[in-house]
Amino acid sequence: MDPGGPESQHPEQNALMQRIGGQWAGPTLQKSFQHEVADLLGRGRNTSFPGAQPVSFSSEHIQELKSQDYYVCEKTDGLRYLLYLTQDGDRDIHYFIDRRNDYWYVPNLHFPHHEDKTFRRFHTGTILDGELVEDKYPDREPVIKFLVFDCLVLDHVVFMQRPLDKRLAYFQTHVLQPYNAMFKQHPEYTRPFVLEDKHNEFSYALEKMFKEVIPKVKQMHGNDGLIFTCRDASYKMGTDPHILKWKPPSENTVDFLLRIEWARMEPDPEDPDQSMQTDFYSFPEKFALFIHVGNNEYSYIDDMYVEPQEWEEWKTLNHALQDIIVECYQDELQRWRFHRFRHDKENANHIKVFKSVIRSIQSHVTEQDLLNHAPEIRTAWKLRADQEKRRQEDEKRRRQAAVKPEG
């Protein structure tokens, strides 16, 4: 592995990636794949990470859940990846694409084509969106899974303009079902992880999410909220206003760039030529937090409050602390506090994301608020479904009348 590559920079991510045999593509091959994916998606020269990013849930989004059909799933506390299925000559190869737009080759993967019962043919020109997690169980060994929640492209056919339920249906019938059939017929085959679809509910099934789904997944791989995705909206690369990320108000977080400032030591009076030196052994004077404002520019927002014990723990970590992305939350005194280091991210949140999170914190939409609105969300959904059913029936009658032979 390249010592200057991402393997040495993101220890949390790479611990899981190494367990599935993931290997960084390297700068040259990675750049080639980035252009290949951009061409596949029709993005021209835009080779940035093509994944959609949610917006933080705030009070006005409750009305949106009533006016449009949304699906809801639990917000997994995992590692976000796109999975790129392609080929090298006559063999299939597979790469995970992380949010830093690094490409990771994963060996021993095979996704048989749905039209080939022998499992020899395979999918290529395919991009799936999902999260890599480790499910833990009290009575057996943990299992690494890739939970798929969207399908951008399948066999070079772009699906991003189609409704979400159609995109997921193609994934289930064309990718997941033959994949499971292959392992059922050949249980001796090994695989680096288990492939599953991420289960969605109608947006009004909130009581089930809070009382059944979330308590279960918290024990398995962790959870930090809900994700609402609009059924009829296209998949949008970058910030997508139709993907809503809800967290309990106390758990809303922002990813900042951390810049640490230490005290300066006075020069030795016996050495007049010595200049002031940074006192790296002291507790820092400032933990400054910066937000991304575009290009490579950052804007100072506030300082992070850090306890001395936290600082002592950080110093024992085997990674740099300066200019790292740090996820923070606001405590009851409205101080920004440390939540975790984000080794999987290259940039802090954009200023627009920051403002969205602040609105979410100020809106203070609680679990009970969502539960209170669930009946109205359900009524509005059912009304739209009934109207669509009548529209289809009317259209069917019109078509039948148009072809009916004259008496």
With contact defined as beta carbons under 8 Å apart, do 269 and 298 qualify?
Answer: no
- Helices 60-67 + 367-403 axis angle, to 10: 30
Cα–Cα nearest to 219, from 337, 105, 313, 137 = 137
- Phi first, then psi, for residue 28 (nearest 5°) are -70, -50
55 three-class SS: strand
How many other C-beta atoms lie within 10 A of the C-beta of residue 44? 9
> Number of C-alpha atoms within 13 angstroms, CB side, residue 188?
0
Instruction: List Cβ neighbours of 63 (8 Å cut-off, separation of 6 or more).
Output: none
β-pairing, 103-105 vs 264-265, is unpaired
Q: Which of 31, 75, 136, 208 is catalytic?
A: 75
DSSP assignment of 350-371, as one string? BHHHHHHHHHHHHHT--HHHHH
- Amino acid occupying residue 374: A
DSSP percent split of the chain into helix, strand, coil, nearest 5: 30, 30, 35
In the residue annotation, 75 being an active-site residue is answered as yes
Spell out a b/e string for 81-101, using b for 16 or more CB atoms within 10 Å of the CB, else e. Answer: bbbbbbeeeeebbbbbbbbbb
* Active centre residues (catalytic): 75
